[in-house]
Amino acid sequence: MGSEWSILGTFTATIMIAYTVIDKFVPTHIRSYALIYVHKLIGFLSPYIHITFPEFSGERLQRSELFTAIQTYLIQNSSQRARKLKAEPANDSHNKFLLSMDDNEEITETFQGVKVWWVSNKTMNKSQSISFYPSSDEKRFYTLTFHKRHRDLIASSYITHVLEQGKSLKLKNRQLKLYTNSCHTSWGGYRKSKWSHVVFEHPARFETLAMDKKAKEEIIDDLDTFQNGKEYYKKIGKAWKRGYLLYGPPGTGKSTMIAAMANFMYYDVYDLELTAVKDNTQLRTLLIETTSKSIIVIEDIDCSLDLTGKRVVKKGKEKSEDAKDPVKKTEQEENNNESKVTLSGLLNCIDGIWSGCAGERIIVFTTNYLDKLDPALIRSGRMDKKIELSYCCYEAFKVLAKNYLDVDHHDLFHDVEGLLEKTNMTPADVAENMMPKSKGDNVETCLKKLIESLEKAKKKQEEEARKKEEEEKEQLAMEEAKESDEKAGKEVKENGFVH
């Protein structure tokens, strides 16, 4: 290892001296020729290969994606190893900063037993032209050095490894966005729906999501398999998309789960408001505009639109008669402003055009009433996984107790467990009842408050169940009486007498 260092050090020093000599003593017009010969000589003598990755490349000098990926990869590695570091503000956040290798700093790393050297460098353009950009004449680049006997390994595996790692780190460090579509009326009166976005900073995570542990692990596994399934989806010839249907009563954590999914996957969220989409064409445009690595959400799909596809269209004559009536005319105008997205339009978008969009996307529908949905919408293949979010169980309560009160065990947990088995209370209500409301509240008082609310809810539910049972009994008695009356009437008719 030591000898490798000294050979490399000698070569690096020789190269630097050669460059300095050329720079200082060789006339400008033959400098480029001199450099060519120096490079040839170095290549001939040196057992090392150097690869340069410039910051800007191409004819239009765009920032190279390769350089950015390497920079991110090295930021992760260099902040522990390099001794000369540079602090720069992170792109998306005001309070964060990134530590990276300073110019002319070097780090080494070992890949599959092979040692490589990374050096960050910068050259200054000597032209004295005035530039609008303060450091546009600075050209930064990374140099990767390795022994020529490892050429194949580095070219075939190492560089790909650095790029993949760099890209995935960049993705994890980026600021997630929440997109929503809203309606704009253009000059010609044409209604157009457009995406606008804000920073997505929802704190929900799977660890803080209160639900059955096994069901939660299953969902996490499913998401993980999907995210790592690029090759698999390609192999089976299926678009890299997955559909989830989240259903359950209000306040059971459907929206919270979507936020947890986004944070887990590092995906942006597109919250699609169907009522703000004029027609199927606009829907298609909106879906095509979504980017890869995103979750497209349609909340409360049952109330979003009349998605049964049986929209009643008035006949021409009826329409023109309505137009004479001022009240009906306004109604008609309002109807024209209504969304005309149909179930078949939505299904076509999901199956067809948008499936052809490159990249990974997840689509999530939520509903409070599973049985209200058209079976076509939720058939397998369209909605790959149906997830029920239900009333709070004991396991879910324990997660909430940890989140809200920071406790894993308490004597009162047993009482809560007993009550939850017999009472339907949503996680949202459990959380609300357990939350400390004043300075004097502690774990015990909060749990007692929850127990009190659970007892009240239990009584109410028992009362309701009793009433319902009575009503059903009454109904049954009425039906029986009606049936026997009908039977008696029939007998009178047939036999002409009553028993």
Ligand X SMILES: Nc1ncnc2c1ncn2[C@@H]1O[C@H](COP(=O)(O)OP(=O)(O)OP(=O)(O)O)[C@@H](O)[C@H]1O
Q: What residues line the site for ligand X (CB under 6 A)?
A: 209-211, 250-256, 368, 389, 427-428, 431
Least distance from ligand X to the Cβ atom of residue 202, Å: 9
Least distance from ligand X to the Cβ atom of residue 227, Å: 22
d(CA 184, CA 69): 38
Contacted entry of ligand X, Mg ion, none for residue 256, CB cut-off 5 to 8 Å set by kind = ligand X
> Interhelix angle for 394-405 vs 413-422, to 10°?
130
Q: Which of residues 208-267 bind Mg ion (CB under 5 A)?
A: 254-255
Q: Which helix (H) or strand (E) holds 463?
A: helix 443-495
166 vs 427, beta carbon nearer ligand X? 427
Least distance from Mg ion to the Cβ atom of residue 113, Å: 52
Contact, 296 vs 363, CB < 8 A?
yes
d(CA 217, CA 248): 19
d(CA 326, CA 379): 44
347 vs 428, beta carbon nearer ligand X? 428
116 vs 389, beta carbon nearer ligand X? 389
Residue 193 within binding range of Mg ion, rule CB under 5 A: no
Contacted entry of ligand X, Mg ion, none for residue 100, CB cut-off 5 to 8 Å set by kind = none
Least distance from ligand X to the Cβ atom of residue 158, Å: 43
Question: What angle (nearest 5°) sits at the alpha carbon of residue 182, between those of residues 344 and 171?
Answer: 90
7 vs 428, beta carbon nearer ligand X? 428
d(CA 311, CA 345): 13
Contacted entry of ligand X, Mg ion, none for residue 453, CB cut-off 5 to 8 Å set by kind = none
Least distance from ligand X to the Cβ atom of residue 410, Å: 19
Contacted entry of Mg ion, ligand X, none for residue 368, CB cut-off 5 to 8 Å set by kind = ligand X
How many C-alpha atoms does 123 have within 13 Å on its Cβ side? Answer: 15
240 vs 365, beta carbon nearer Mg ion? 365
74 vs 204, beta carbon nearer ligand X? 204
Sheet holding 114-124, edge to edge: 48-54, 138-147, 114-124, 106-111
From the CB of residue 83, how many other CB atoms can be counted at a distance below 10 Å? 10
Least distance from Mg ion to the Cβ atom of residue 252, Å: 9
Question: What angle (nearest 5°) sits at the alpha carbon of residue 153, between those of residues 150 and 158?
Answer: 115
Residues that bind Mg ion (CB under 5 A): 254-255
